[in-house]
């Protein structure tokens, strides 16, 4: 088998993440302000809409404050994958040795019946655990073909020097 190419780095799309957070904040504000005078006699649609607005507002602010940029570095020569999460408050790095990985496959999450499906690469460890890679705001997360290409590239790295 041929030698895998040099190190490759994939970063999450922070622009899309910020846009999603801003959209949640705007919609949350509209709903919370628009339905703040709900009928206090019982649990009404107005109260439910107001609470939905508050939840969206909290989620949007949380995404802005605690959302992290994710950088995945695959180094075939050192036989490792480094997953780095960079947020406003801290940076964490998790390193996975390719020698600890049994297999890679494409997995999906989301609603198949009318919902939005997103794809990611799943690393199955020899110990039985699983690690999801390229989850979140990565380019190509809605394309199974894009994730299959990443999975094939990881499988090539895994097969080399086994």
The whole-number average pLDDT for the span 119-140 is 91
pTM more than 0.85: no
56 vs 37: which has the higher pLDDT: 56
Average pLDDT, stretch 13-40?
87
Residue 21 to residue 65: CA distance in whole angstroms: 10
CA dihedral of 149, 153, 156, 157, whole degrees rounded to 10: -160
> What percent of the chain has pLDDT above 70?
90
Domain residue spans in the chain?
8-12+68-159, 17-66
Average pLDDT over residues 115-144: 90
Distance, in Å, from the CA atom of 95 to the CA atom of 80, rounded to the nearest integer, reads 7
pLDDT band (50, 70, 90) for residue 1? very low
Closest CA to 129 of 93, 159, 94, 79: 94
Check residue 147 and give its pLDDT. Answer: 93
- From the candidate CATH numbers 3.30.70, 2.30.29, 2.50.20, 1.10.3470, the one assigned to the domain spanning 8-12+68-159: 2.30.29
Q: Helix, strand or coil for residue 138?
A: coil
Any residues with CB less than 8 A from the CB of 160 and at least 6 apart, and which?
1, 3, 4, 76
pLDDT value for 42? 58
Average pLDDT of span 40-46: 66
39 pLDDT tier (thresholds 50, 70, 90)? low
Average pLDDT over residues 31-56: 79
- Tell me the sheet residues that pair with 8: 74
């Amino acid at each position: 088998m041929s030698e895998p190419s040099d190190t490759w780095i994939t970063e999450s799309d922070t622009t899309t993440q910020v846009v999603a957070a801003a959209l949640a904040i705007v919609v949350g504000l509209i709903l919370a302000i628009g339905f703040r005078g709900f009928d206090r006699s019982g649990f009404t649609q107005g109260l439910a809409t107001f609470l939905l607005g508050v939840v969206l507002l909290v989620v949007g602010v949380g995404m802005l404050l605690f959302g992290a940029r994710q950088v995945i570095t695959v180094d075939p020569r050192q036989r490792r994958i480094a997953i780095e999460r960079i947020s406003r408050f801290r940076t964490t790095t998790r390193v996975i040795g390719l020698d600890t990985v049994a297999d890679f496959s494409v997995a999906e999450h989301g609603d198949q019946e009318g919902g939005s499906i997103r794809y990611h690469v799943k690393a199955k460890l020899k110990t039985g655990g699983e690690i999801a890679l390229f989850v979140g705001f990565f380019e190509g997360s809605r394309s199974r073909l894009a994730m299959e290409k990443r999975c094939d590239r990881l499988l090539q790295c895994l097969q080399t020097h086994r």
